[in-house]
């Protein structure tokens, strides 16, 4: 019932990626630097603080979710007498990722992310094919008709929170903020527009395919059998009858790849935002950056080990991203409409209308 949400979110994401990227390619400044320089330093500080609070919740929720997955999955390993505890799994994952970040090279970091996303995509698309072969095409296509489903029995989350969370995940302010940082770092100018558009198209198409695969898998398995999931530990045993142990292992590997490919960049967001705010250089080997990453890793491990409800926390943190989105889009409209900044690349009337509609959609979310 919610495929339309993912499709609409991906279309909006593509449009916003182009506009955020265009601002940086024309001005040479990231969106944080643009807000600080051309709007007000207080507005940039508010934006960074709001994003940082959301990241803290996301780090805690995502690591808790990953720890639960490893704990439940380890219970199926024949060479272990008892499963790894979720708390120790959280500590181990956090320590491993911190070591990866200590390597300190962005290129190495990007290669790891590429491998993780490839594993995630293969795993989720394969499990969709395995689980959804009994679904009729008409059922899937009906998901593109906008509707708000009834609340599922036994679910802690209302449809509104789920939709806002899905939009927050897809139309992610973090994606746009980091995009402008990477565009500046790559040195792309407006002459690189075609390469930038191609890059954005590939990203958004993959985003839609993987998200749709996850949703179709859930609809074909848990939903059809009448199961609800409020804790990741409930899901893995439920799915084993559908997939068998081997396929379930691949699915779990996909979940871990998805979680790690989100958690790694999330750890970098706060240091990068602060560097942007202060006009410094993005170097993972800096003492301040390493201490910040250590503090964030410890925070996530401690909070995740307390056994909080990761699904609800993740939904809430992602829904909060939707709250910050109108602010970011409003700033983008103002900055990209200024002739003194953008010259001939400033917003046309159709761009202004489209961005205003996007802002209205984000306010509704």
Give average pLDDT by consecutive 10-residue segment, the chain, 365 residues.
90 95 95 95 93 88 87 80 89 91 75 85 85 82 86 72 80 90 90 94 92 85 71 68 70 82 88 86 79 93 80 74 87 94 93 91 84
What tokens were used for 219? 């609809």
Please tell me the distance from the alpha carbon of residue 3 to that of residue 131, in angstroms, as a whole number: 17
Whose structure tokens read 């871990």? 256
- Burial bucket for residue 100 (CB in 10 Å: 0-12, 13-18, 19+): middle
CA distances from 313 to 65, 104, 222, 230, 296 (A): 10, 30, 21, 11, 17
The pLDDT value recorded for residue 149 is 78
The pLDDT value recorded for residue 169 is 79
The pLDDT value recorded for residue 182 is 87
CA dihedral 228, 234, 239, 245 (to 10 degrees): 180
Tell me the whole-structure pTM to 2 decimals: 0.84
The pLDDT value recorded for residue 247 is 64
CB-based contacts of 29, cutoff 8 Å, min separation 6: 23, 37, 180, 184
């Amino acid at each position: 019932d919610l495929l339309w949400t993912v499709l609409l979110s991906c279309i909006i994401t593509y449009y916003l990626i182009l506009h955020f990227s265009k601002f940086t390619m024309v001005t040479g400044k990231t969106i944080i630097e643009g807000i600080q320089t051309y709007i007000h330093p207080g507005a940039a500080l508010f934006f960074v603080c709001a994003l940082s609070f959301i990241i803290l919740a996301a780090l805690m929720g995502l690591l808790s979710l990953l720890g639960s997955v490893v704990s439940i999955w380890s219970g199926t390993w024949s060479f272990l007498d008892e499963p790894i505890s979720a708390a120790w799994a959280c500590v181990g994952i956090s320590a491993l990722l911190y070591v990866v970040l200590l390597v300190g090279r962005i290129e190495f970091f990007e290669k790891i992310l590429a491998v993780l996303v490839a594993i995630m995509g293969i795993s989720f698309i394969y499990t969709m094919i395995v689980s959804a072969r009994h679904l009729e095409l008409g059922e899937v296509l009906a998901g593109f008709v906008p509707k708000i489903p009834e609340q599922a029995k036994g679910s802690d989350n209302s449809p509104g929170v789920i939709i806002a969370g899905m939009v927050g995940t897809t139309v992610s302010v973090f994606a746009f903020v980091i995009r402008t940082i990477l565009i500046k770092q790559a040195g792309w100018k407006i002459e690189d527009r075609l390469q930038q558009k191609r890059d954005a198209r590939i990203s958004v198409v993959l985003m839609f395919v993987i998200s749709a695969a996850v949703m179709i898998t859930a609809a074909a398995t848990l939903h059809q059998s009448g199961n609800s999931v409020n804790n990741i530990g409930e899901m893995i045993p439920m799915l084993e009858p559908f997939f068998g142990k081997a396929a379930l292992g691949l699915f779990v590997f996909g979940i871990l790849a998805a979680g790690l490919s989100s958690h790694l960049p999330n750890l970098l967001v706060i240091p990068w935002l602060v560097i942007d705010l202060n006009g410094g250089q993005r170097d993972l080997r800096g003492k301040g950056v390493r201490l910040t990453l250590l503090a964030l890793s410890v925070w996530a491990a401690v909070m995740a080990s307390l056994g909080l409800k990761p699904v609800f926390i993740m939904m809430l943190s992602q829904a909060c991203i939707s709250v910050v989105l109108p602010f970011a889009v409003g700033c983008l409209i103002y900055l990209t409409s200024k002739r003194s900044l953008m010259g001939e690349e400033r917003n046309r009337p159709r761009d202004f209308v489209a961005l205003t509609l996007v802002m209205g959609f984000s306010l509704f979310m």
